[in-house]
Amino acid sequence: MDIGAGVGDVVAILKNAGYDAIGYEPSEKARSFAARKGIELLNQTDSIEPKSIKVISMYHVLEHVPDFEQQINQIQNWLTKDGILILALPNYNSFDAKYFKKEWAGYDVPRHLYHFNKEAIRNIFQDRFELITTKPMWFDSLYVSILSARYQKRKFSFLYGLCIGFLSNCSAVFTKEPSSLVYVLKKRF
């Protein structure tokens, strides 16, 4: 299940690979676009049975959820025993976040209601999920840095952003703090 499925691309990829995949998307506009591509997305989650889903993904979604504690409880209820939760989130400990400061596009205020780093994710999920691994999202630093350079109204913002994004990735090789991370968590009980 992909929560915050947008226009359904992840759901389509999974279905094309032979998986039984569903997506939830609250935006009518995004669901309509997905439907035009032949991808049906849920507009509510009432029909999802407890302990019926093996894997739930949320790519750049949790930071937008008004009550993420309630969302986590719901996810825990939906997941099977040993179910997997995959989160992709901006990381405010990254080089590009520190470089661009308040103009870092990863903050995306006011759309991002919360901001996370690895320690925050460990603390939030430690009682209910085991953190299996984290993976860097290398291209996010480039995209976020280009946007951030535009926010700063830099000359040649595209090239400037690419350079800072590249430096951020180089830094992340040593610090293990990339611009965005994918977290893979396993349900504890």
Through-space distance between the first and last CA atoms of the chain, rounded to whole angstroms: 19
pTM above 0.85, yes or no: yes
Domains by residue range for the chain, with CATH? 49-187 (3.40.50.150)
Q: How far is CA 84 from CA 24, 116, 163, in A?
A: 17, 19, 35
List the one residue out of 55, 10, 1, 56 whose CA is nearest residue 30: 10
DSSP symbol at 80: E
Judge whether residue 16 has pLDDT over 90.
Answer: yes
Judge whether residue 88 has pLDDT over 90.
Answer: yes
Tokens of 136: 């860097």
- Burial zone of 28 (CB within 10 Å; 0-12 exposed, 13-18 middle, 19+ buried): exposed
pLDDT band at 189 (very low <50, low <70, confident <90, very high): confident
pLDDT digits (tens, 9 = 90+) for 94-146: 999 999 999 999 999 889 999 999 999 999 999 999 999 999 999 999 999 99
Average pLDDT, the chain: 96
pLDDT in the model for residue 109: 86
- Sheet with 53-59: list strands edge to edge: 23-24, 2-3, 53-59, 79-90, 180-187, 129-136
